[in-house]
């Protein structure tokens, strides 16, 4: 009786159908996901092309995104290895095949090339790592080579149990024979491997219950050798002469089929047996790799290790200066902790290799393409940290932010990200010191955090000043040239023709000129196109510098004889006050940033029209300078929890919050049960109000909890305590128990709780405890806060204890995040400008009314006419009082808020009314911080920084 034919075509069709369903199921769970396969070929062999086309066709049928990467015959080994590395680092590719043989004119080490494939993408199963795992029996943790895997599938179709059977494998190649031996062995067969040197091969074959042949010799195994009823799997593909075929040859296996089928119980044909199974198993390995990828990168699935703090009491080199912890201890604490390699942390929190751009060992940028990958994932819980109206010394919002995330992560074992602003170098070398948190709750390394980071602020400086230079250059050239000369220079002849640049075409469209040929413009159109006609007195765009320099607050530019007397008064701002910084913080994508940069209004024409950076033709160049700055920076806390440091807009005249992009990416990474904690600058009347009314409007995000930081010191000041001045010892009222002063000052905390409640979000008060605070004082604040409507109020000691000192705060935040909330904005954008200002003044500051001074009234009329009246409001006022007067503490009442001017940040997307006066570039004190800063030339260690 003839053997039963095992049809590889039929079995492979079943496998492909199953794989197709698997891929469809993946896409249901993640619509943006498709398994990816790359077939890398060197040269152009016909047989390789045939095999590749079969693989690509099978991949398309299943739903695998397959790519044929073809390198020329001239490709060197180095070029092949480089191509493999690129594919290894591409997270959208889950399988990589190097098509053999490598058809190159250069000598290429096939073994080296094969082993260069990442084991996680080695769907051919040919790397030494996968082969080693197979040899050890780790079948669930490797890729099984496709042909042997297909053979096992075909044997399974027979219903014959492999366990306990005698199996013979003829051939010992790395592709078929050797892995086939291992597979049969780990399926509990007794296996013999035969080869060209085997004595009495026929006798060995005659003992086989299962025979697998892959020796590469046409019809070598004769039928009479085969044991009666054996399972025969023929892996051979050979060509022998056949005059009956048009090609003069036919394909046969390594087994003489006609005689073998008369003795075997089951047999595979050639062709139509093992061949189709090899392709099917390749597809199976690719789908398996994609499944493993999805399993490893489930939403919010972190495998994070935390850094254990070596707490010391008292804190290292802690000394009291004005009864405040001196920042000198912060740098020592920072250096006492060895940070995790940043690429390791990135992997722990679910970032892929190609999504991370390393800047040394402790910081990295995250590519924006992660947004698309994470888009289907649910967001985590969103927490904003703000504070009561602070003293000039600050009340520890940054320290509380970091302490809270360390508590939620390292101690409560929740996925958590901190999102904080990048500090300016102005304060670093001036008077304030760093902004990385403090004590045992800080971002590390603090030197890198406070010095340059990855150059984002420098990029903003470059972009801002390029625009400033463009403005004055344009004013000068328009003043010194005729319309025709100006036009000829703006649209010069190049290669015998004139062409508008894309940005110039945008300007034509804005002017309503529907022409693309520079020679077709009429004289009137040439004038309108070429002349921006900027009124020099209307220029609002200033130059910037990331240094405190008081002598640049008012300057005269254009004094060189080459500028022909075209001088004007101007000024410098500190870089973080640039509108480009605000754009960076509020943008949602590279395209959105490009559009915002284009819309920035820098001046007004003499006819009253706004002049933008797009009109000046510089907006594209600004985007180029900002292309890396838009990527959030990844760092870590002392306890190893992740931190995004991104953007640092001035909190007085801008919105004082870190970037929307960092928050959005972090919310996806932490998963639905995780937390993202972001910080809003200054007190709740400034940073928090702007966070809700500006940042949340543009991001579409809705916060779950407000954390309001309060201190005994600040509340005593609001109760009528003596003036608190940086650099002067604290009066005794602040270091001795005084419940009357404290209780009176709690009015400010009540007002800030009320301010948060205007937005319908639960409030948790974090009482940042200092060493001089008494238990009674801390308890009093907590009880008053709860009575005022706070969801909870918790004392914290995270400066001295790290996350352990903020566990109670973390638990309170976790409970509050599940409490009912009814988020709402404070005002409708369509209200008139003055009405929106009035609502903020009355509801948040407690003013009776506002007064628009003449310049402000003029701007209301101008911006309404120019179409900017529907922008949100970003109040620019002192952070030291709820009112416009810094010395008015507590909760001032009965005052009129004067608005002296209003300015427009159209690209960022807000109007900012000026309340009182404030410098937009700080000055250096008599003894700046830089006196203490130096570099050790031997170790390159920065000394004296904080």
Q: What is the mean pLDDT of residues 552-563?
A: 94
The dihedrals phi and psi of 505, each to the nearest 5 degrees, come to -65, -35
The answer, yes or no, to whether residue 934 has pLDDT greater than 90, is no
Please give the share of the chain, as a percent, with pLDDT higher than 70. 98
Weakest-pLDDT range from 229-238, 254-263, 384-393, 424-433: 424-433
> Could you give the CA distance from residue 790 to residue 706 in angstroms, rounded to a whole number?
10
Q: What is the pLDDT of residues 327-339, one digit of tens each?
A: 457 778 887 888 9
Q: What is the pLDDT of residues 256-278, one digit of tens each?
A: 999 999 999 999 999 999 999 99
pLDDT of 297: 85
pLDDT of 244: 84
Distance of CA 857 to the CA centre of its chain: 42
pLDDT of 435: 65
The answer, yes or no, to whether residue 746 has pLDDT greater than 90, is yes
Binning pLDDT at 50, 70 and 90, where does residue 916 land? confident
Question: When comparing pLDDT for 7 and 433, which is higher?
Answer: 7
pLDDT of 328: 52
Beta bridge partners of 767: 710, 795
The answer, yes or no, to whether residue 322 has pLDDT greater than 50, is no
The CATH number of 329-415+655-818 is 3.40.50.300
The CATH number of domain 833-914 is 3.10.410.10:
yes
Question: When comparing pLDDT for 730 and 414, which is higher?
Answer: 414
CATH 3.40.50.300 in the chain, residue ranges: 329-415+655-818
pLDDT of 919: 79
How many helices (H) and strands (E) are present in the chain, helices listed first? 33, 39
Q: Which residues are catalytic?
A: 55
The answer, yes or no, to whether residue 645 has pLDDT greater than 50, is yes
Binning pLDDT at 50, 70 and 90, where does residue 325 land? very low
> Could you give the CA distance from residue 120 to residue 142 in angstroms, rounded to a whole number?
8
Q: What is the mean pLDDT of residues 917-921?
A: 80
Q: State the pairing for strand pair 901-905/910-914.
A: antiparallel
CATH 3.40.50.720 in the chain, residue ranges: 4-288
The answer, yes or no, to whether residue 845 has pLDDT greater than 70, is yes
The answer, yes or no, to whether residue 323 has pLDDT greater than 60, is no
Q: What is the mean pLDDT of residues 126-145?
A: 95
The answer, yes or no, to whether residue 886 has pLDDT greater than 50, is yes
Question: When comparing pLDDT for 88 and 652, which is higher?
Answer: 88
Q: Among 677, 710, 681, 708, which Cα is nearest to 694's?
A: 681
Q: What is the pLDDT of residues 34-56, one digit of tens each?
A: 999 999 999 999 989 999 999 99
Please give the share of the chain, as a percent, with pLDDT higher than 90. 83
pLDDT of 98: 96
Helix ranges, 230-374 (H):
257-260, 274-296, 328-336, 342-348, 370-374
Binning pLDDT at 50, 70 and 90, where does residue 433 land? low
CATH 3.30.1510.10 in the chain, residue ranges: 457-583+594-626
**Whole-number mean pLDDT of the chain?**
93
Which CATH architecture is the domain 457-583+594-626 placed in?
A: 2-Layer Sandwich (3.30)
The CATH number of domain 4-288 is 3.40.50.300:
no
Q: What is the pLDDT of residues 87-132, one digit of tens each?
A: 999 999 999 999 999 999 999 999 999 999 999 999 999 999 999 9
Q: What is the mean pLDDT of residues 880-902?
A: 95
pLDDT of 946: 64
- Three-state SS across 582-625? HHHHHCCCHHHHHHHHHHCEEEEECCCCEEECCCCCCHHHHHHH
CATH 3.10.410.10 in the chain, residue ranges: 833-914
pLDDT of 923: 86
pLDDT of 432: 60
Q: What is the pLDDT of residues 509-539, one digit of tens each?
A: 999 999 999 999 999 999 999 999 999 999 9
Distance of CA 831 to the CA centre of its chain: 36
Q: What is the largest CA-CA distance in the chain?
A: 112
The answer, yes or no, to whether residue 318 has pLDDT greater than 50, is no
Tokens of 124: 């051919």
Q: What is the mean pLDDT of residues 447-456?
A: 90
pLDDT of 608: 93
As to burial, measured by CB atoms within 10 angstroms (0-12 exposed, 13-18 middle, 19+ buried), residue 127 is buried
Q: What is the pLDDT of residues 460-482, one digit of tens each?
A: 999 999 999 999 999 999 999 99
The answer, yes or no, to whether residue 838 has pLDDT greater than 50, is yes
The answer, yes or no, to whether residue 446 has pLDDT greater than 90, is no
pLDDT of 316: 62
């Amino acid at each position: 009786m003839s053997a039963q034919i095992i049809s590889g075509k039929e079995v492979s069709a079943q496998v492909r159908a199953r794989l197709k369903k698997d891929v469809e199921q993946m896409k249901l769970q993640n619509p943006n996901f498709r398994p990816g396969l790359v077939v890398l070929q060197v040269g152009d062999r016909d047989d390789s092309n045939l095999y590749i086309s079969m693989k690509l066709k099978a991949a398309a049928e299943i739903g695998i995104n397959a790519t044929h990467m073809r390198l020329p015959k001239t490709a060197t080994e180095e070029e092949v290895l480089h191509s493999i590395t690129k594919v290894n680092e591409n997270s959208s590719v889950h399988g990589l095949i190097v098509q053999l043989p490598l058809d190159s004119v250069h000598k290429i080490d096939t073994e080296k090339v094969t082993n260069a494939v990442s084991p996680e993408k080695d769907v051919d199963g040919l790397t030494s790592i996968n082969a080693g795992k197979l040899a050890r029996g780790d079948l669930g943790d490797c890729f099984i080579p496709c042909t042997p895997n297909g053979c096992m599938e075909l044997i399974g179709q027979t219903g014959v149990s492999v366990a306990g059977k005698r199996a013979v494998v003829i051939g010992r190649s790395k592709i078929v024979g050797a892995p086939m031996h291992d597979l049969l062995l780990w399926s509990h067969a007794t296996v013999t491997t035969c080869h060209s040197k085997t004595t009495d091969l026929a006798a060995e074959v005659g003992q086989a219950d299962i025979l697998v042949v892959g020796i590469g010799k046409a019809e070598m195994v004769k039928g009479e050798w085969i044991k009666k009823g054996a399972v025969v799997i023929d892996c051979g593909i050979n060509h022998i002469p056949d005059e009956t075929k048009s090609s003069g040859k036919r394909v046969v296996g390594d087994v003489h089929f006609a005689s073998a089928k008369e003795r075997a119980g089951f047999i595979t044909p050639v062709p139509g047996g093992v061949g189709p199974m090899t392709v099917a198993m390749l597809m199976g390995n690719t789908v398996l790799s994609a499944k493993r990828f999805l399993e490893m990168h489930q939403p919010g699935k972190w495998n994070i290790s935390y850094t254990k703090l070596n707490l010391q009491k008292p804190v290292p080199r802690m000394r009291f200066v004005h009864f405040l912890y001196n920042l000198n201890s912060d740098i020592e604490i920072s250096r006492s902790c060895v940070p995790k390699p940043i690429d390791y942390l990135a992997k722990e929190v679910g970032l892929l290799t190609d999504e991370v751009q390393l800047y040394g060992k402790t910081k990295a940028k995250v590519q924006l393409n992660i947004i698309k990958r994470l888009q289907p994932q649910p967001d985590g819980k969103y927490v904003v940290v703000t504070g009561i109206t602070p003293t000039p010394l600050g009340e520890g919002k940054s320290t509380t932010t970091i302490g809270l995330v360390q508590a939620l992560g390292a101690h409560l074992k929740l996925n958590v990200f901190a999102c904080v602003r990048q500090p300016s170098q102005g304060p670093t070398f001036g008077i304030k010191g760093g902004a990385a948190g403090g004590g045992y709750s800080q971002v590390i390394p603090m030197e890198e955090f406070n010095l340059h980071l990855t150059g984002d602020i420098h990029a903003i400086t470059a972009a801002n000043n390029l625009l400033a230079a463009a403005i004055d250059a344009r004013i000068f050239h328009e003043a010194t040239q005729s319309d025709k000369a100006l036009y000829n220079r703006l649209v010069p002849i190049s290669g015998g023709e004139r062409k508008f640049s894309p940005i110039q075409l945008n300007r034509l469209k804005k002017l309503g000129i529907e022409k693309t040929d520079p020679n077709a413009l009429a004289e009137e159109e040439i004038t309108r196109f070429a002349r921006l006609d900027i009124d020099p007195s209307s220029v609002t765009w200033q130059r910037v510098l990331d240094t405190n320099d008081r002598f640049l607050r008012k300057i005269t530019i254009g004094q060189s004889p080459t500028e022909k007397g075209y001088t004007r008064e101007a000024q410098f701002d500190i870089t973080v006050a640039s509108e480009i910084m605000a754009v960076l913080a509020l943008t949602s994508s590279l395209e959105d940033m490009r559009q915002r940069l284009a819309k920035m209004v820098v001046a007004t024409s003499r006819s009253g029209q706004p002049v933008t950076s797009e009109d000046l033709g510089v907006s594209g160049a600004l985007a180029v300078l900002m292309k890396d700055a838009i990527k959030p920076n990844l760092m870590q806390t002392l306890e190893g929890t992740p931190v995004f440091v991104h953007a640092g807009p001035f909190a007085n005249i801008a919105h004082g919050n870190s970037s929307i992009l960092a928050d959005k990416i972090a919310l996806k990474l932490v998963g639905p049960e995780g937390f993202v904690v972001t910080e809003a600058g200054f007190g709740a009347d400034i940073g928090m109000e702007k966070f809700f009314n500006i940042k949340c409007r543009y991001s579409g995000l809705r916060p779950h909890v407000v954390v309001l930081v309060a201190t005994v010191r600040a509340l005593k000041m609001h109760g009528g305590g003596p003036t608190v001045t940086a650099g002067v010892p604290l009066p005794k009222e602040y270091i001795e128990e005084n419940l009357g002063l404290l209780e009176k000052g709690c009015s400010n905390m009540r007002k800030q709780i009320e301010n948060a409640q205007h937005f319908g979000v639960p409030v948790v008060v974090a009482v940042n405890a200092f060493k001089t605070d008494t238990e009674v004082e801390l308890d009093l604040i907590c009880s008053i806060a709860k009575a005022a409507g706070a969801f909870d109020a918790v004392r914290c000691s995270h400066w001295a204890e790290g996350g352990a000192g903020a566990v109670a705060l973390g638990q309170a935040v976790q409970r509050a995040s599940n409490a009912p909330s009814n988020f709402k904005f404070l005002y409708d954008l369509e209200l008139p400008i003055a009405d929106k200002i009035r609502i903020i003044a009355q509801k948040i500051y407690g003013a009776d009314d506002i007064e628009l001074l003449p310049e402000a009234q003029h701007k209301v009329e101008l911006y309404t006419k120019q179409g900017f009246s529907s922008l949100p409001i970003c109040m620019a006022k002192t952070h030291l009082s709820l009112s416009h007067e810094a010395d008015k503490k507590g909760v001032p009442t009965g005052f009129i808020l004067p608005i002296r001017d209003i300015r427009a940040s159209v690209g960022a997307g807000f109007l900012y009314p000026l309340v009182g006066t404030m410098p937009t570039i700080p000055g250096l004190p008599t003894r700046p911080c830089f006196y203490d800063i130096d570099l050790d030339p031997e170790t390159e260690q920065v000394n004296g920084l904080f």
